[in-house]
Structure 1
Amino acid sequence: MKQCYLLRTSHVQPFIKEMIDIGMPLSSMLHKCKIEEHWLSNPNQLINEPSVWQLLHIPYAREGVVDFGFQVTQRNALTSYGEFGRSLTASSTVYEAIQKFISSMPKQTNAPTFRIQGDKNDLWFIREGIKGLSEGCEQVEQHVIGLMIQTVRLGAGDTWVPPKVRMQTKKLIQGVGRSFLGESDITLGHIHTAIAIPKKILLQPISYTYDFIKTEVNERIIPTEPSMMIHDLMKYGHGSTRFELKACAQQLGVHPRWLQRNLRENNTSFREIATKYRMELAKAHLTDASISITEVALELGYSDQANFWRAFIKYTGVSPTEYRKFIEQS
């Protein structure tokens, strides 16, 4: 069955900034990759990952920037990637940072996970990658290798390079990624991406100066079930389009009919999911007396207040006014 791969916007924003800085026509590029610009404003929003890969391929295809993934990663600290990066810098040792990286990554993408594997002298830090995707995979692999190396550098120092590297790409131009790869022994065309970390480095202490403060935003693992994906798209999105089948299907990178069929096979529907989310959100908004019922209706995408009124009564058994009075009396 087709799998929808999603990525948090916080991992895309540094690339967007770089594209703007080098003067690339961002709007037309996003349109070509079927990415809506408003998706990028919320770092917790979810975006179809293959579309992001396609976007990252454009600087290479159009401008010949062969090391775009390495460049962007080098120019951005780990803390540029939101709570994920900040949590790594709060680790006490390199090994703890690697473990946090692996355990936190499912909250950043629902693509195949990272893992570690040891041999006699080294610990291999491994990423499987997404099978069947090719456009943009080189730039993504560069970015991933850069992130893994930056994680180790928290304790090993800013100039550390892995003694051995395995890359899925079959061709690497000499000098590309030198700041990350240095004199590494590189194997190309490997089944997965990996860097070797000498075991003696694993217990190196991390003394990063960033003051990590856990925010109230509690990122959760990105789901793989379409119904839960839709819920998260509605949660992190804004505007009425987040409640529309076509818009959600576009964000997931699938055809609306495929999405409808999948939901039907799982005994639900887009309308059912959207209605439940909207009504639960409406109930939450109605507890705030400073927000009018008209404003609640508009926030939930109802241009006609009467439609909102009918939907709320059908879902709860009472009108919005009656519900608000009940909450006030409670």
Structure 2
Amino acid sequence: MQSKRHAKKLTSSTGVMSSNKVETSIAAVDAGLEGAFIPLLRAEYIAPFVARLKDFDNNVYPLIEQAGLPASLLTSNHDYVSEQAVLNLLKLISAKLGSKRFSEWLFQVARTIFVPQHLAKITLNGTVKQAIVDFTHVVNLESKQTNVHLKTGLGKVWFVRHRLKNDPIESSVAEQFALTMMVELVRSLTQAQWQPADIALQSATEVDYLNVLKLNQPQVFYGRQVTALSISDSVLAGKVKLKNGWQQLMSPVVEGPKGFVESLQFALLPYLSLGRIPVTTAADLLGLSVRTLQRRLSEEGMSYRQMVEGICFKQAKEMLSDGAISVTQISATLGYSDVAHFSRAFKRMSGHSPRVFRQNISID
């Protein structure tokens, strides 16, 4: 049973995580970003996570397909996947496992996959505060739909995460995932069973996963605009402590796509082998209405068909530059029904057949 300390729900007049001190500035930034791009996640994080579905189900592909993730996620080197599809997957896993088992599984996945992956991208020879600041830079650069920061308010330092709320269930599992990551990050940096003194949650009601995270001491405030943990000055000032024998292999940080069209192109790229994706299917995969998708493209001066053809043309040129990939293989990879159809489409866009285009590359 949760302690009574977990049952406190605050209004904006209470002062804790006061909206005019911490929340408003972040919310204003996010409001300006809404609709500016398609929310994406790096596939390098998601592919190992999806592979761990085999912990409880040997055949993971029905879940992958139901969530709307590309079936090739585990076998191909994609750059990004739609965040909406990942949220769909989290909801499905939660429903399949039940609340307690899902929380325990997510806890283990965060510790063994997501936290180590992010530790490989930040500096670990300074203080805990420096490492967390580096972490926020990585997250904000790679995932532009989420804002993560260290903020000072009411004499405390808060590790804050803010994202726009849509579907209540998606928001709940996304917040659980984020909180698990934040707690385990600090514990990994301190090599201690660290506990925040205060937690702020966007959830309007009490959540039971705090017990799985062994968070049975903090004061918890519900119904906030942000997810946040207070971190003491002594913890922040401490030197990073790493697990004995742990060696850091640095991984590159890649900035997320800029703008709506570029993010949409990356989001749809993993699905090209399925053929020409109808706009209705694309909208479902991305959590948008067809009207919104078409309106945003129109504002960029293009149609959905033009955008898809542009993706195919770009990929075709890149693959044609590799002489080891046959034109037949390129045609199949890009979802064309046959080589003749691909050749006609490519000639229409480039003025040359694929073979002539490849020959000209070789000559150059």
TM range (shorter): 0.7 to 0.9
Q: How far has the Cα of 1:198 moved from its partner? A: 1.1
Closer, same or farther: CA 249–173 of 1 in aligned 2, 3 Å: closer
Post-superposition Cα deviations, 1:129-160, rounded to whole Å, max 9, x if no partner, equal 32233114333222211211222223322311
Could you tell me which amino acid in structure 1 is paired with residue 133 of structure 2? Q
Give how far 1:174 is off: 6.5
Q: C-alpha separation between the residues in 2 aligned to 1:78 and 1:93? A: 22
Q: Of the two structures, which has the highest relative contact order with CA contacts closer than 8 Å and spacing of 6 or more?
A: 2
Unaligned runs of 5+ in 1: none
In 2 relative to 1, CA 58–154 (structure 1 residues): closer, same or farther, beyond 3 Å?
Answer: same
Matches of 2:208 and 2:288, distance apart in 1: 38
| Aligned equivalents of 2:361, 2:87: Cα separation in 1 | 47
Q: Please, which of 34, 44, 55 is the counterpart of residue 21 of structure 1? A: 55
Distance across 2 between alignment mates of 1:324 and 1:23: 44
Matching residue of 2:68: 35
1:214 aligns with 2:251: yes
Kindly tell me the number of residue pairs found equivalent between the two proteins. 324
Q: How far has the Cα of 1:124 moved from its partner?
A: 0.6
Check whether the contact 1:14–1:72 (CA below 8 A) recurs between aligned residues. no
- For the pair 1:228 / 2:262, whether they are aligned, the reply is yes
1:241 aligns with 2:265: no
Percentage of identical aligned residues: 23
Residue range with higher mean Cα deviation, 105-114 or 3-12: 3-12
Out of 252, 264, 273, the residue aligned to residue 298 of structure 2 is: 264
The gaps in structure 2 that reach 5 residues or longer are: 1-30
Counterpart pick for 2:185 among 126, 151, 156: 151
Q: Distance in 1 between matches of 2:307 and 2:144?
A: 21
1:13-52 alpha-carbon deviations (Å, 9 max, x no partner):
56645654345996665565x4245164257431243x54
Superposition TM-score, scaled by structure 2 size: 0.74
Pick from 198, 201, 205 the counterpart of residue 171 of structure 1. 205
Q: Which moved more, 1:6-15 or 1:68-77?
A: 6-15
- RMSD of aligned alpha carbons: 3.4
Q: Give the corresponding residue for 1:137.
A: 171
Worse-superposed segment, 245-254 or 167-176: 167-176
Query: Which shows bigger deviation, 144-153 or 8-17?
Result: 8-17
Of 288, 292, 312, which residue of structure 2 is paired with 1:254? 288
Distance 2:348 2:209 in 1: 65
Is the CA contact (8 Å cut-off) linking 1:146 and 1:180 kept in structure 2? Answer: no
Deviation at 1:211, TM superposition (A): 2.1
- Equivalent residue, structure 2, for 1:45: 80
Specify whether residues 265 and 200 from structure 1 end up closer, same or farther in structure 2 by C-alpha distance, changes over 3 A only: same
Q: Does the aligned pair in 2 maintain the 1:11–1:81 contact within 8 Å?
A: no
1:109 and 2:143 matched: yes
1:160 corresponds in structure 2 to: 194
